[in-house]
Amino acid sequence: MKAASRALSLFALGLLMLGAAPARERVVLAGGCFWGMEAVFDSVKGVSGVVSGYSGGNAATAHYDIVSTGMTGHAESVEITYDPSRISFAQLLKVYFLIAHDPTELNRQGPDEGSQYRSTIFYTTPGQKAAAENYIRELGRTKTYSAPIVTQIVPLRAFYPAEAYHQHFIERHPDYPYVVYNDLPKLEQLHHRFPELLKPGISLIPKGNSPG
């Protein structure tokens, strides 16, 4: 009886711990080179993890050299894990559309051309899909951009992490010319326009997947 009672107590404790654990959601966003996307979202409060990778194609072609051909169906993407009690999906969309990339560029982003650099939201819940559609309509209504928004909204089928040398690239190579010209201005804009969305004490160059 004592053993059974102890097992029941441990089971109840486990349920309590599960209930106390904060909910986590994830979304995969594509919008050009994943180096800058990763650094931007790694700076945002409530985001506990950002991984650079590929989505839209299959596992066999989820390798940088192959994805770079633009013939795999993959887009360079970032998988974002976040706590919706600390950062809303609408706030993530604001960063995505207004800071992280230009949603009016079709199959390109800045100096990079090809379908692997397309603008795409790979949603994981119906709520994310509806929120993205509503946000795009609002951007159109307010004429935030003079050109049409070309962002695709599709369900996430699979996400494949990129090679290790791509992870936290900006943190390790802040002086790399491509980063200085294309990515650091995005981080500066994030700090200037949305300081309330930054992690406490975050520097201009984020230090990996720091807690939100």
Which positions are annotated as active-site residues?
Answer: 33
Task: Tell the burial category of 158 from Cβ atoms under 10 Å away from its Cβ (0-12, 13-18, 19+).
Answer: middle
Give Cα separations from 31 to 28, 128, 163, 173 (angstroms): 10, 17, 18, 20
Residue whose tokens read 């050299």:
65
Q: Determine the Cα angle at 84 with ends 75 and 183, to 5°.
A: 40
Which residue from 150, 193, 190 is spatially nearest to 170, judged by alpha carbons?
190
- Do the beta carbons of residue 114 and residue 108 sit within 8 Å? yes
- Do the beta carbons of residue 212 and residue 47 sit within 8 Å? yes
Tokens of 131: 């929120």
Tokens of 166: 């791509």
Q: How many whole angstroms separate alpha carbon 95 and alpha carbon 105?
A: 17
Q: How many whole angstroms separate alpha carbon 126 and alpha carbon 175?
A: 40
- Do the beta carbons of residue 95 and residue 76 sit within 8 Å? no
